[in-house]
Copies of this chain bind each other. A is one copy, B any other.
């Protein structure tokens, strides 16, 4: 087991271990089936472990938390929660511009093509879209919005508005390659789209009744 020993010497990242390839594959297969059947919220590590015929502790040992395991099954090419945490760490001031800078950096990096294929698949398949939705809302956007200290009453509305702007930037520029969106210089996107996101986060929240 030279490969296993070499891998074990790598610095551990969020508690995940490569483990035995066959066991690892059995757990991933069980997790995919369970998530597809019951959604993210309705799936437990215990049930996934039972289906794979292993002890729940082994699932934790190989993959970490349920979030980590889900991330492994969907093969998202980036660690979105970790990236968001870094962007949010400097606080809410200027967060809109930092988010756009982060989006441009990640999507225009070598990981971009993989991300585009991944999002295309997620959008094409309703079951995958549902899983992605539960995960993004419950495990990524929700905790992120809470960590920013947005007042709870407005948090969901502000998060929803930010999502519309972030998604459209990504879909228009990296999935549909709409010429006017592709042509926008990064500085323009950071200033204009970043300004919109900042306004959605901290600006006045007109509700159409004024």
Interface of A with B (CB < 8 Å)?
A: 120-124, 129-130, 132-133, 136-137, 141, 156-157, 159-161, 163-169, 171-173, 175-188, 190-193, 195-196, 199-200, 205-210
Instruction: For residue A179, give the distance in angstroms from its CB to the closest CB of chain B.
Output: 5
In the complex, A163→B173 CA distance in Å? 10
Query: A160 contacts B183, CB within 8 Å?
Result: yes
What are the residues of chain B within 8 A of A136 when measuring CB–CB? 178
Known: A123-B124, A195-B206, A208-B187. A168 touches B164 (CB 8 A): yes
Instruction: For residue A26, give the distance in angstroms from its CB to the closest CB of chain B.
Output: 30
Chain B's closest residue to A184 (CB) is: B160
Known: A167-B168, A208-B190. A178 touches B120 (CB 8 A): no
Instruction: For residue A20, give the distance in angstroms from its CB to the closest CB of chain B.
Output: 35
Instruction: For residue A62, give the distance in angstroms from its CB to the closest CB of chain B.
Output: 29
Query: B167 contacts A171, CB within 8 Å?
Result: yes
